[in-house]
Amino acid sequence: MLRACQDYVKRLVNMARLMLEIVDCFRRWDKDGAEQLFLRMRELEGALHEDRGRIIESLAGVSGLMACREDVLRFLYQVSEIADYYDGAVFRMLQLMKDKKVPEDIREAIAKLADAVSAIVEKLHEVSLALMINPETAKNLIAEIEALEREVDTIYRELEVMILDKNLKLKTLFLTWDVAKLLEDAADKVVDAADTARILALSL
């Protein structure tokens, strides 16, 4: 079952990497490229949710995991929420690229934020691997996630101020702010998933 969770997080890592490609299109203002990659992201997200359903069904038949079954379920749903935040951020980027121009320095800052969030997702995958091999190592990796999340918070706050300072049109301001907030929310949810993984590590 832990192997299934590991594979599940690996799908999220693939989404995070694809997200970085989309953010690069956003940074370069390549609308066509972003739209094509978004279709691929939607496919990955669909596969992620299908996997969650299969894992949940298989949990019902694994009596040995009864004690930590709720924690496994919580972990799966938290990972799904991270994917949903990614989807929401990309959707808003595409809306911005339809007829609005976002200043280049804000696009660069969003790319920096996306990089930082992706690094946390990669670390969560390391945690899922460690749960199978060495739960004690997983605890150390979770501490690294918490440190990375603080870096994300700093980048996000700087980006907030930058967005407000640009005197953007109201719709552009809200959409741009949403992109930043959804990425920051994704990082927060990784920390939640890491906390659940910490509980799993204690029960193994």
Q: What pLDDT, on a 0 to 100 scale, did the predictor assign at position 6?
A: 82
Q: Which CATH number is associated with domain 2-203? A: 1.20.58.220
Distances (CA, A) of 39 to 93, 105, 184: 14, 27, 23
Give the pLDDT means over successive 10-residue stretches in the chain (204 positions).
Answer: 79 94 96 95 91 81 65 90 96 92 94 97 92 83 92 96 93 95 97 90 73
Backbone angles phi, psi at 101, to 5 degrees: -115, 115
* 14 vs 1: CA distance, rounded Å: 20
For residue 109, what are the contacts with CB-CB under 8 A and spacing of at least 6? 155, 158, 159, 162
pTM: 0.92
Listed residue (116, 137, 94) closest to 20, CA to CA: 116
Asked if 163 and 107 touch (Cβ cutoff 8 Å), the reply is no
Where do the domains of the chain lie?
Answer: 2-203
* 111 vs 183: CA distance, rounded Å: 10
Q: What pLDDT, on a 0 to 100 scale, did the predictor assign at position 1?
A: 63
